[in-house]
Every structure is written in structure tokens, then in C-alpha cells.
């Protein structure tokens, strides 16, 4: 590098300051330098914020075509999901702070209504369609209008919630679910307010 004279150095510094602080005039720059130290930074314009594009989701038809929620036939065995039922029972005990004999039934009932039922063993006790009565098994999937239940005979049953009453038993406590009043997705029940008094309509 060739040594620069005083005039060249002054011209370089002046040009550099104008580029670094484009909003200030020459006199203001000189005044700022005479009064205080200035940290020189590279000036860059802020990029305009664009609207974020949401990732495109699958439609209901595409999910059905891809069979995203279908269980493979070779995995439809009752014994495979028994450990899931044991985990569900422990989850309910923790949720209800222990199912003690002196616990008020309506307290347990209110928690069960908002709990996740995947892994629970349920029985269809009443139905407008007699063929559904007596179906017992572990809930594998819950949708807005149906339960998918695996029975002890390794048969996957699709049972609608509408016009059906389900019973659920854990540690001697029996709860009844009126499917017609229960047509919600599992993720939506936590914010739902249920009436604890059951109805006899199907």
C-alpha cells in the first residue's frame, strides 16, 4: 500500500462518513466528530416485510386418498394396544389426582368428559341400532362423529357417536357418554363446557 497524504486521507474519511451516515449533512458530521466519538457502521436499508405464506395443508379428500389415518390390517390386534390402555389408566389417575372412593363423582365425570379417550375401553350400552349394542373394545381413533374401536376378536369397528350411549369403567368408577352430545374432536373438548346431567335421548 502506498502512503497517503493528509489531503487524500481527509477526503477518504469524509467520503466514508457520508456513506456511513447518509442522513447527516457534512456540517453535522463535522460537528458530531468534534463533540463525541462516533462508531462507524455499515448502513443498510431495511428490507420490506412481506406477508408470510402459510404452508399448504392437505385437504380432507387428499388425507383420505393417502390413507394417513388408516391402521394397517396386520396391526389390528387387541393385544398390541393393551399397553396403550394401561398408559391411559395411569393418565386418568394422574388427571383425577387418584380415583379415591370418597372423590365426588361429578368431579371425575367433568374431567373424563374433557380427557383424551385414545386407549380407553368402552362398551356400547344403548343404541338405536341393535347391532351396535354390546360392542366392547379399546378406542384407537376418535373423530368428530365416530369412534374406531378394536375388539378382543381383533376386529376394527367403526361406531358412530350419534344415537349411541357408551359406558367407560376405570377402578370401579363407571361413566356414561352420550354420543349425541359428544360430537367433538378430541382436541376441541378441553375448551367445551358440558352439562354434567345426562339425558336419556338417543
Q: State pLDDT tens for residues 149-164.
A: 999 999 999 999 999 9
DSSP state of 172: T
Is residue 90 classed as helix, strand or coil in its secondary structure? Answer: helix
Sorted by sequence, the CB contacts under 8 Å of residue 22 that are 6+ apart come out as 43
Q: In this structure, what C-alpha cell is assigned to residue 124?
A: 356400547
User: Which segments of 96-173 does DSSP mark as H helices, in order?
Assistant: 105-114
pLDDT over 90 for what percent of the chain?
Answer: 31
Identify the H or E element spanning 32: helix 26-35
Q: Is 200 left (phi over 0), alpha (psi -120 to 50) or beta?
A: alpha
Query: If you average pLDDT over every residue of the chain, what do you get?
Result: 80
pLDDT tens-digit series, residues 8-25 = 777 777 777 677 766 666
- Helix (H, G, I), strand (E, B), or coil: what is residue 143? coil
pTM: 0.64
**Residues linked to residue 146 through DSSP beta bridges, in sequence order:** 160
Q: Who contacts 39 (Cβ-Cβ below 8 Å, separation ≥6)?
A: none
**Which CATH topology does 73-191 take?**
SH3 type barrels. (2.30.30)
Q: Mind listing the pLDDT tens digit for each residue in 32-88?
A: 666 555 555 555 666 666 667 777 787 878 877 777 778 888 888 999 999 999 999
Across the range 132-137, mean pLDDT stands at: 95
Amino acid at each position: 500500500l502506498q502512503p497517503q497524504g493528509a489531503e487524500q486521507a481527509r477526503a477518504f474519511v469524509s467520503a466514508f462518513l457520508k456513506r456511513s451516515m447518509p442522513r447527516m449533512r457534512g456540517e453535522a458530521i463535522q460537528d458530531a466528530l468534534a463533540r463525541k466519538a462516533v462508531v462507524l457502521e455499515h448502513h443498510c436499508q431495511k428490507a420490506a416485510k412481506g406477508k408470510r405464506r402459510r404452508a399448504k395443508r392437505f385437504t380432507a379428500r387428499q388425507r383420505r386418498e393417502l390413507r394417513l389415518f388408516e391402521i394397517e390390517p396386520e396391526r389390528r390386534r387387541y393385544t398390541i394396544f393393551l399397553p396403550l390402555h394401561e398408559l391411559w389408566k395411569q393418565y386418568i389417575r394422574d388427571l383425577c389426582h387418584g380415583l379415591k372412593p370418597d372423590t365426588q363423582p361429578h368431579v371425575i365425570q367433568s374431567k373424563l368428559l374433557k380427557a383424551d379417550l385414545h386407549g380407553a375401553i368402552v362398551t356400547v350400552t344403548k343404541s338405536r341400532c341393535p347391532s351396535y349394542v354390546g360392542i366392547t373394545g379399546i378406542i384407537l381413533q376418535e373423530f368428530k362423529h365416530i369412534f374406531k374401536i378394536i375388539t378382543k376378536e381383533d376386529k376394527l369397528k367403526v361406531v358412530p357417536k350419534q344415537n349411541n350411549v357408551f359406558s367407560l369403567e376405570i377402578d370401579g368408577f363407571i361413566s356414561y357418554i352420550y354420543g349425541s352430545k359428544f360430537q367433538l374432536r378430541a382436541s376441541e373438548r378441553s375448551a367445551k363446557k358440558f352439562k354434567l346431567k345426562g339425558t336419556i335421548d338417543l
